[in-house]
Amino acid sequence: MLALTSIWTTILLAAAVALGPMAIDMYLPALPQIGADFNAGTDQVQFTLSIYLIGFALAQLVCGPLADRFGRKPVMIGGMLLFTLASIGCALASNIETLQLFRFLQALGGSAGPVLGRAVVRDVYTPREAAKILALLAGMMALAPAVAPTLGGFIVATMDWHWIFIVMAGYALIMVAVIAFGIPEPLRPEHRQPFRFCQLMSNYRRISTDMTFIGYTFTSAAIYGGLFAFLSGSAFVLIDVLGVAPEHFGLYTAITAGGYLLGNMASIRLAGRYLPDQILLYGLATTLTAGATMTLLAYHNIYSPWAVVLPQALFMAGTGMVLPQTMAGALANHPAMAGSASALLGFVQMAAAAAAGALVGFLHDGTPLVMATIIAICAGLGLIGYLFLVQRYPAPGFEAQGAGSN
């Protein structure tokens, strides 16, 4: 097996963690076709995304503590096996309700990758180091939203949307082998926590009353809401409203993923000159500028794929700067409960994402305006979280005050 600090371990971990995002991004080009095949409305089809996010959020609350008790590897392997079976169920679904059910089960398994990926990084690195490694990990993971929609669009155009879920099942099985034989168990025996209900509630109570955790988590969740507002509405806005062909949909979303990758690269480069909370502020200002720009273009009836994609690429660049800092900051005070802290962080993120996505589906009016407005509101909430919480309760060594190296 590889050393935990090896770059190859980080790459393999990124590939495993990407399973969860892939299950979201790959099937986005198929949403209009799924609605047509099942004679389902936009809100029903969009709910296959929201229910995935709900399942993803709920599962993390159990997944994290299980990993704190039994180790990271067994829980990740079990989750990915469940993901495989649920993906096959999605492929065989004969109506929208069955698809929604298996999407929920798929999320229960898929949640293991991201929540435990963050925990593994916290197991191995210090909080300041973790911010850099999480940025590197997120940069590698940006390949998933860049490649997955393009592959999904190609499958929709040449075969059938059912095959998207068959591909997901095959990828999950490969990741089972990668985790089992390629990545060592990172959780030290002395850091294992008992899996008892009272202890679990005590851990969550301790984490959820930590104002540092609250500040970084609120800020992260707000930006997640904006990200998933786009993911939820992009297929309907770009394909149905703006006339983008399904096989070209992935090319547009690849541009937004490129923005995310650039943001992550900027985060890594800036880490040598600026403290994490300074980078966080720059990222939040970028997301707010992007959300406001998209909203103004939509308000003035400038309907073009580029009027959506280019501001979203800028939003994603800001997101790539924000998320590594907020994830590392939220976990900084809880090294012995990194799995539980990561789970609670993920739960709040996905709950915000599900709410924003459902709101986009419910309010969709046949224009880009609703989606753009929700993205801008989420960016504004993220900046509010920074100003009123993060600045007052920064993670140790993250605060911008007194930074003289810049």
Summarised one tens digit per residue, pLDDT across range 244-302 is 888 788 888 889 988 988 998 898 889 888 899 999 999 999 999 999 999 999 999 99
Record the tokens describing residue 301, joined without a space.
Answer: 């009836």
74 exposed, middle or buried (CB, 10 Å; 0-12, 13-18, 19+)? middle
Query: What b/e string do you get for 268-289 counting C-beta neighbours within 10 Å, with b at 16 or more?
Result: bebbeebbbbbbbbbbbebbbb
3-state secondary structure of 392: coil
From CA 162, how far away is CA 399, in angstroms rounded? 48
pLDDT(2) > 70: no
Q: Which of 215, 208, 191 is nearest to 124 (CA)?
A: 191
From CA 279, how far away is CA 326, in angstroms rounded? 10
Instruction: Average the pLDDT over 101-111 and give the result.
Output: 92
103 exposed, middle or buried (CB, 10 Å; 0-12, 13-18, 19+)? buried
pLDDT band at 42 (very low <50, low <70, confident <90, very high): confident
Contact 276, 329 (CB under 8 A): yes
Question: pLDDT at position 3, please?
Answer: 65
Question: pLDDT at position 405, please?
Answer: 40
Helical segments of 271-398, H only: 276-299, 305-331, 338-363, 369-385
Contacts of 337 (CB under 8 A, 6+ apart): 68, 193, 203, 206, 207
- Domain ranges across the chain: 7-390
pLDDT(51) > 80: yes
Contact 382, 223 (CB under 8 A): yes
Cβ of 4: how many Cβ atoms within 10 Å? Answer: 17
From CA 13, how far away is CA 9, in angstroms rounded? 6
Record the tokens describing residue 356, joined without a space.
Answer: 């924003």
Question: pLDDT at position 369, please?
Answer: 95
Question: pLDDT at position 379, please?
Answer: 98
As a 3-state breakdown, the chain gives helix, strand, coil percent values, each rounded to 5, of 80, 0, 20
Record the tokens describing residue 99, joined without a space.
Answer: 């698809």
Record the tokens describing residue 164, joined without a space.
Answer: 């998207």
pLDDT(406) > 60: no
Contact 161, 33 (CB under 8 A): yes
How many Å from the N-terminal Cα to the C-terminal Cα in the chain?
Answer: 40
pLDDT band at 1 (very low <50, low <70, confident <90, very high): low
pLDDT tens across 195-226, in order? 777 877 888 899 999 999 999 999 999 999 99
From CA 21, how far away is CA 61, in angstroms rounded? 18
Question: pLDDT at position 392, please?
Answer: 94
Work out the angle at residue 200's Cα, subtended by the Cα atoms of residues 113 and 111, and round it to the nearest 5 degrees.
15
Q: Fold for domain 7-390?
A: Growth Hormone; Chain: A; (1.20.1250)
